[in-house]
């Protein structure tokens, strides 16, 4: 192994920054963790919408962890506190993105599709 190739995978402190095989594993896991919920939703999901939503969110959380481990190279080793700080930052950003996305989708559905509620209510009255 040449010195240049060895330096490509290690920083000055000797920490591993991923290899081709770890990137492939991360990519394959990401594809699988995307395809399963996509297939579930396209097939109509479970009878319970809540169970479908929880399942899709569960796969999303696992996929975030896969990205953190395989692409951001976060592991149990402490590197001057940056790993914990990065994890906290990631969790905060993900919570903000999920909450904001759900809030926007709910309000867009409520405000842009009012006829859906009206048609639904007529079906119960008949």
Co-location of 12 and 71 in the same domain: yes
Co-location of 37 and 91 in the same domain: no
H helical segments located in the chain: 3-9, 20-42, 49-70, 82-112, 114-125
Co-location of 18 and 68 in the same domain: yes
Comparing 24-28, 46-50, 69-73, 111-115, which segment has the lowest mean pLDDT? 111-115
47 within some domain: yes
Co-location of 94 and 83 in the same domain: yes
Query: b/e string for 50-85 if b means 16 or more Cβ within 10 A?
Result: eebeebbeebeeebeebbbbbeeebeeeeeeeebee
94 near 64, Cβ under 8 Å? yes
Co-location of 82 and 109 in the same domain: yes
37 compared with 126, residue with greater pLDDT = 37
Task: Report yes or no on whether pTM surpasses 0.75.
Answer: no
Co-location of 57 and 109 in the same domain: no
50 within some domain: yes
With cut-offs at 50, 70 and 90, classify the pLDDT of residue 94.
confident
Co-location of 117 and 61 in the same domain: no
- Counting the structural domains of the chain, the total is 2
Q: How many CB atoms lie within 10 A of CB 33?
A: 20
Co-location of 61 and 99 in the same domain: no
Co-location of 12 and 70 in the same domain: yes
pLDDT, average across residues 42-46: 94
**pLDDT value at position 12?**
46
Co-location of 93 and 123 in the same domain: yes
Mean pLDDT of the chain: 78
User: In terms of residue numbers, what domain contains 26?
Assistant: 7-75
Highest mean pLDDT out of 19-33, 60-74, 79-93, 103-117: 19-33
Comparing 34-38, 47-51, 58-62, 73-77, which segment has the lowest mean pLDDT? 73-77
* Tokens linked to 47: 């009878």
């Amino acid at each position: 192994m040449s010195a240049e190739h060895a330096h490509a995978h290690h920083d000055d402190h000797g920490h591993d920054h991923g290899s081709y095989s770890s990137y492939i594993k991360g990519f394959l896991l990401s594809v699988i963790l995307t395809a399963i919920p996509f297939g579930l939703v396209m097939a109509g999901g479970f009878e319970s919408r809540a169970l479908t939503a929880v399942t899709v969110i569960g796969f999303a959380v696992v996929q975030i962890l896969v990205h953190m481990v395989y692409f951001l190279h976060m592991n149990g080793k402490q590197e001057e506190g940056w790993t914990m700080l990065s994890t906290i930052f990631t969790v905060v950003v993900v919570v903000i993105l999920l909450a904001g996305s759900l809030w926007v989708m709910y309000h867009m559905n409520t405000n842009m599709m009012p006829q859906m509620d009206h048609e639904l209510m007529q079906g119960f009255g008949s």
